[in-house]
Structure 1
């Protein structure tokens, strides 16, 4: 029997408010452990934004989601403030899946230091802490590079031993990340593929453990577990090495807009 892809979950961002039955809103600038212990500021990436649950940074209208980064001093967290605010939402505990298609239509902001992303993390860290249980980045963009998008997987071991596979795609001449594009990930048991406007620009079919990390994982581990969705707009950080932490303060307010996001899974006809 043929296996057909059917809609499993979606948000088209209708109405005037975020659907809290589908999304969690995260707060702060610190990476925090499962037991609430603060681990590192800047979400471990030298990020300079504080995520807020505030209508200034996160709102729904005109059938789209907007995450807005502002040049605005943050509240105090663990004795520190940062110079920007933004928003981050995810579906952990509300929706997760293993294998399928993710598709969304999005417009990214321009400006050095802006880092919009749609990505996935494991619902349960079955194989151990990051990045041993994996991370799938469906879309990452650098506001400094208006024609470039990236897709990545992280895996293999703890941060000092982890590895990644990443591919980038340059948009056609005459268009930029600040235009709406349709992004997609096809996640199969033995392969992951990344798409922009129907064009496949990356296909990864090998991954595994890192040397010296025990116990070894067997392919297709760790990407054989349920993952949840994340949408955020970061400021600063290490993703753009040439920016070196510099942020263009003339870029604010900066909007990351999502028209819709859908997940499809296979069902036998």
Structure 2
């Protein structure tokens, strides 16, 4: 969806705000198969930075076709980190994603990297418009967070702005596309913070299906975004309530890994000189229950 073919997104089902209690309520009362509570910083054994295992180049530090206006930056790549951990009372810790307008030094390093890597004309044009530095993390094939069937949930806090485009999503272990599972993409629609949830499939006739729902409390505070699937059924959740239930396409019958990122522009509005700096996404935890 979002990341790779934003322009084709056509969420099939109508806006929903279903109030029923979730069938995963019992699952989340059991210990997760894997989790990251972000209490000791970012665990390099669980997460990669950038779109690895693709080459660690500028072209794989953002998605050109979406109109994004950020480059995903981290210390090992450019010596400037945009993802930190901050202590938070009563939760043990969070991952704090920051999108910042590039300073002159970062901008210079980005342009130098692009020249050294001899990027294509299309990439050079996109890099020339990308004037924000932001953060993303992703699991990888073989990591403990990779799983097929079950339930995954993250507790996220977004500071809603029309220019930012946070996402929590899954890609297959094989790195083929589609399928893609967008557990949530956050955006402002008609002044309302919305959660957009989508499955993208290559199964004939399936396409992109999903739903959207207003984020409670006008987007303020932490909210839980979840996704459950098995061989036949896929269900999206917001704060423990079902937002939509869909048939699971056949290409979801494989292992997936999670990705979290904070994009600028793209599906959001183009940032301007008046856009608040920094933009923020906080992650309290990511938890996986495998095989249910």
Q: Which category of TM-score, normalised to the shorter sequence, fits these structures?
A: 0.7 to 0.9
Question: Is the 1:108–1:256 contact (alpha carbons within 8 Å) kept by the matching residues of 2?
Answer: yes
Distance 1:194 1:70, change over 3 A: same
Q: 5+ unaligned residues in a row in structure 2: which ranges?
A: 1-25, 88-92
Structure having the larger proportion of residues in strand = 1
Q: 5+ unaligned residues in a row in structure 1: which ranges?
A: 207-219
How much has 1:149 moved relative to structure 2?
0.6
Q: Match for residue 58 of structure 1?
A: 83
Q: Match for residue 139 of structure 1?
A: 184
Aligned-partner Cα distance in 2 for 1:251–1:176 = 18
How much has 1:43 moved relative to structure 2?
3.6
| CA deviations over 1:194-220 (Å, ceiling 9, x no partner) | 1111110111115xxxxxxxxxxxxx4
User: What does 1:27-106 correspond to in 2, within 5 Å?
Assistant: 42-54=63-75, 56-62=81-87, 63-72=93-102, 74=107, 75-76=110-111, 77=114, 78=119, 79=124, 80-81=127-128, 82-93=130-141, 94=143, 95-106=145-156
User: What does 1:228-267 correspond to in 2, within 5 Å?
Assistant: 228-237=257-266, 239-240=267-268, 243=269, 245=270, 247=272, 249-266=274-291
How much has 1:107 moved relative to structure 2?
0.4
Question: Is the 1:42–1:49 contact (alpha carbons within 8 Å) kept by the matching residues of 2?
Answer: no
| CA deviations over 1:133-181 (Å, ceiling 9, x no partner) | x0000011015654311110112279xx982112101134xx1223211
Aligned-partner Cα distance in 1 for 2:34–2:192 = 30
Question: Is the 1:109–1:143 contact (alpha carbons within 8 Å) kept by the matching residues of 2?
Answer: no
Pairwise CA RMSD:
3.1
| CA deviations over 1:67-101 (Å, ceiling 9, x no partner) | 10011154123344421110111001323110011
Match of residue 214, structure 2, among 170, 177, 183: 170
Aligned-partner Cα distance in 2 for 1:34–1:105 = 30
Question: Is the 2:61–2:71 contact (alpha carbons within 8 Å) kept by the matching residues of 1?
Answer: no
What is the SS of the residue equivalent to 2:275?
Answer: helix
Aligned-partner Cα distance in 2 for 1:200–1:118 = 17
Question: Is the 1:137–1:151 contact (alpha carbons within 8 Å) kept by the matching residues of 2?
Answer: yes
Q: Match for residue 198 of structure 1?
A: 240
Aligned-partner Cα distance in 2 for 1:135–1:99 = 14
How much has 1:65 moved relative to structure 2?
0.3
Distance 1:39 1:184, change over 3 A: closer
TM-score (norm 1): 0.77
Distance 1:196 1:46, change over 3 A: same
| CA deviations over 1:28-70 (Å, ceiling 9, x no partner) | xxx9967989599744211110001146410112100011001
Question: Is the 1:32–1:39 contact (alpha carbons within 8 Å) kept by the matching residues of 2?
Answer: no
Q: How many pairs align?
A: 235
What is the SS of the residue equivalent to 1:118?
Answer: strand
